[in-house]
Amino acid sequence: MTFWSAIVILLIGFASVSLAGETKNSIGMRLVSIAPGEFNMGMLNEHRLKLLHKFSAYQREIHDYVETPQFPVKITKGFEMGATEVTVGQFRAFVEATGYKTDAERAGEAWVFTPDAKRESERFAPKKGASWRDPGFEQTDAHPVTCVSWKDAMAFCKWLGEKEGVTYRLPTEAEWEYACRASTWTIYCSGDEPDSVYAYGNVADAALYAVHPQDVIRQRTHALKPGEGDGFVYTAPVGSLKPNLWGLYDMHGNVWEWCSDKYSDRIYKDMAEEARKKGSRSKPAPIEDPQGPDDTPQHKHGDWRSLRGGSWYVAPMQCRSSVRAFAEAADAFSYIGFRVVREAR
């Protein structure tokens, strides 16, 4: 790709922001219009090689098979996406209007950060009384709501949709990655350098290291000097850092975000094969609006749902545009939240 073609693509990205604009809904949530388009979903092999070079000490953690092979996707319908993750204040409005009890509140516990745990595998553990109201660290109404399950997020979308007479829902994985990339083709919306993401996302950095060094050093990359990084220990108020080219904040880090899809670790292989059958091996045809599998053998043991974007607790490697994770639909963790999609009227 030439220098000038890269400049043209960047200008197109900036233009899409100014043309699309931003609106607010009935609870003050900012929504960004996302136009239809095409992109390549997943991780390129060249990106994998760059990651292995950057994160050589941690290469066992690169579960590239769940993000590969990359395949073309076509988003056929425009939609509006929350400019930020749903906040504590916005979720509070839902609860006060409906009397809703979250899965964590009904269970009497949520999974929260337990830094004093002796084993690394126990750094997050269930705590009695923990919920979105008390996730184990201080939050204001401007912070992203956490300790909410996939079911809680769906209930919020249903309430907001009925309130406004439109359809709100969680994004599909394809919509989420399309919006996160915002016309970019690099590992992050900010480029290929891991430390470039600090300006765009709240991830594990020097601030978290200063308080909980052992939790960060085992997953770190480069910048750990005092003052470097995003400056937040736990969650950051939404919109505190830079937006991507399409005006979306916190797509990298802060909290993992629920998507609507059932999770499958092998679906990219299936999608890539389908794209080749529709087109050819040298020029696969785009898959239109993929939404994940209807079911998998693993779903006999739970309703596993996809997560995207990384969180305040994980380093840049786990906050890439293509990174994927999952949790059971009733799980409530202090590193998981969500953002919404509003379908075009």
Query: How many angstroms separate the CA atoms of 240 and 138, rounded?
Result: 16
Report the pLDDT averaged over residues 127-144. Answer: 97
Query: What would the two tokens of residue 110 be?
Result: 């949520």
**CATH number, domain with residue 104:** 3.90.1580.10
Is residue 256 predicted with pLDDT exceeding 90?
yes
Residue 120 CA from chain centroid, whole number: 23
Greater pLDDT, 47 or 230? 230
Question: What pLDDT, on the 0 to 100 scale, is given for residue 216?
Answer: 66
Average pLDDT, the chain: 88
Most confident of 27-36, 40-49, 191-200, 229-238: 27-36
Three state DSSP letters for the chain: CCHHHHHHHHHHHHHHHHHHCEEECCCCCEEEEECCEEEEECCCHHHHHHHHHHCHHHHHHCCHHHCCCCEEEEECCCEEEECCCCEHHHHHHHHHHHCCCCHHHHHCEEEEECCCCCCHHHCEEEEECCECCECCCCCCCCCECCCCCHHHHHHHHHHHHHHHCCCEECCCHHHHHHHHHCCCCCCECCECCHHHHHHCCECCCHHHHHHCHHHHHCCCCCCCCCCCCCCCCCCCCCCCCCCCCCCCCCCCECCEEEEEEECCCCHHHHHHHHHHHHCCCCCCCCEECCCCCCCCHHHHHCCEEEEECCCCCCCHHHHCCCCEEEEECCCCECCEECCCEEECC
Q: Note the pLDDT tens digit of each residue in 270-313.
A: 999 999 999 999 999 999 999 989 988 888 889 999 999 999 99
The total number of structural domains in the chain stands at 1
Among residues 247, 231, 242, 204, the alpha carbon closest in space to that of 339 is found at 247
Question: What pLDDT, on the 0 to 100 scale, is given for residue 285?
Answer: 97
**Domain membership of residue 225 as a residue range:** 3-343
Tally of CB atoms within 10 A around 137 = 14
Query: What would the two tokens of residue 214 be?
Result: 């052992």
Q: Note the pLDDT tens digit of each residue in 25-82.
A: 999 999 999 999 999 999 886 666 666 555 544 444 555 668 989 999 999 999 999 9
Q: How confident is the model at residue 1 (pLDDT cuts 50, 70, 90)?
A: very low
Write down the pTM of the prediction. Answer: 0.90
Least confident among 122-136, 204-218, 246-260, 306-320:
204-218
Is residue 223 predicted with pLDDT exceeding 90?
no
